[in-house]
Amino acid sequence: MDLKNESVVTEFILLGFSGRWELQIFFFVTFSLVYSATALGNILIIVTVTLSTTLHSPMYFLLENLSFLDMCFSTVTTPKMITGILTEHKTISIWGCMTQMFFIHLFGGAEMTLLVAMAFDRYVAICKPLHYRTIMSRRLLNGFVILSWIIGFIHTMSQMVLVVNLPFCGPNVVDNIFCDLPLVIKLACIKTYTLELFVIADSGLLSLICFILLLVSYAVILGTVWQRSSGGLSKALSTLSAHVIVVTLFFGPCIIIYAWPFSSFAGNKILSVFYTVITPFLNPIIYTLRNQKMQVAMRKLRFLLVSSMQNF
């Protein structure tokens, strides 16, 4: 194709959620509240784990890092979506789009890996409790966190190094709430069949493998609890069922979108909302705010804060 006679695309149009003015207001208010709650909830968790000596354990160390990733992941996509709801021209520069996709896959890949590490932590705590402190050493925990960032970086760079050089000279409409890699690739002026297969192999397989590992770990934990105590099984089911729901809401849409990314359908936007908006909002509730030890630590910190303000 001769690209010289084609106009070069400098920005993309994000369609987002379109509809009547009343519906747009509803989306704006709803997503603004959800994002505010997500940011405040995750910041509260990070501050509580950092300042509370009772929470300096492997599980809470990993939860603290998960909260940081959730906050970053949500911040990459949600504010732009919120501001675009009430904007007539829903545009994003081509480099803004590339930057957004880079960080989406950086934080997304890191979070998937960290969730597997957290499942391993729960496996060791329940199945090998006597060796928990020995196995889950500070060195291993730091290794898990570093590994999650490395995998996230490799995951995003392996795709972005190919996407960033694609020529865009025709249609520039992205029918989603953010710059989605499969949809942006489709707008390129050249054949991208090989790149499409690479995205399936990269993003799709990463999501699917991590999801399977999580389900296997949960099944092993339930099996171990069932063998040891029937009374503890109901408690384990209650805890793990909430985890499975959140993990499914995150990985399910990712697998559907990235394992079969180039067969677009109307539900893409809804699926995108689940893993970029809903899951970062639910993670603080499911993993920590429902935790009694976390609640006690938060109450202590609030008491200390109120006391210090009164003395001041």
Cα Dmax for the chain? 74
Is 308 inside a domain boundary? Answer: no
Question: How many structural domains compose the chain?
Answer: 1
What pLDDT is stored for residue 246 in this prediction?
A: 78
At a CB cut-off of 8 Å and minimum separation 6, what does 298 contact? 44, 48
Residue among 253, 293, 302 nearest 104 (CA): 253
- Residue 56's pLDDT is 87
In a domain, 107, yes or no: yes
Q: What is the pLDDT of residue 1?
A: 45
**For residue 275, what pLDDT is reported?**
82
87 lies in a domain?
yes
Residue 75, pLDDT > 60, answer yes
Residue 5 domain flag: no
Mean pLDDT of 91-101: 92
pLDDT at 308 (0 to 100): 74
pLDDT in tens, 120-145: 998 898 888 889 999 999 999 999 99
Does residue 82 lie in a domain region? yes
Who's near 36: CB < 8 A, 6+ residues apart? none
**Cα(82)–Cα(29) distance, rounded to whole angstroms?**
9
pLDDT confidence band for 296 (50 / 70 / 90): confident
Q: Which range marks the domain in which residue 245 is found?
A: 11-291
In the structure encoding, which two tokens stand for residue 236, read together?
């384990």
C-alpha span between 247 and 249 (Å, rounded): 5
pLDDT recorded at residue 307: 77
**Model pLDDT, residue 146:** 97
Which residues have CB under 8 Å from 142's CB, separation 6+? none
Return the structure tokens found at 221. 């934990």
Of 124, 10, 166, 149, the closest CA to residue 66 belongs to 149
Indicate if the pLDDT at residue 4 is higher than 50. no
Domain assignment of residue 4, yes or no: no
Name which of 114-128, 151-165, 168-182, 264-278 the model is least confident about: 264-278
- DSSP, residue by residue, the chain: ---TTSPPP-EEEE--S---HHHHHHHHHHHHHHHHHHHHHHHHHHHHHHH-GGG-SHHHHHHHHHHHHHHHHHHHHHHHHHHHHT-SS-EEEHHHHHHHHHHHHHHHHHHHHHHHHHHHHHHHHHHSGGGHHHHS-HHHHHHHHHHHHHHHHHHHHHHHHHHTT----S--EE-SSS--HHHHHTTSSS--HHHHHHHIIIIIHHHHHHHHHHHHHHHHHHHHHHHH-HHHHHHHHHHHHHHHHHHHHHHHHHHHHHHSTTS--TTHHHHHHIIIIIHHHHHIIIIIIT-HHHHHHHHHHHHHHHHHHHH-
Residue with the bigger pLDDT between 230 and 206: it is 206
How confident is the model at residue 5, as a pLDDT?
Answer: 46
User: Domain with 136 in it: what CATH number?
Assistant: 1.20.1070.10
* Structural domain contains residue 147: yes
Q: Which residue has the higher pLDDT, 261 or 299?
A: 299
Whether residue 204 lies inside any domain: the answer is: yes
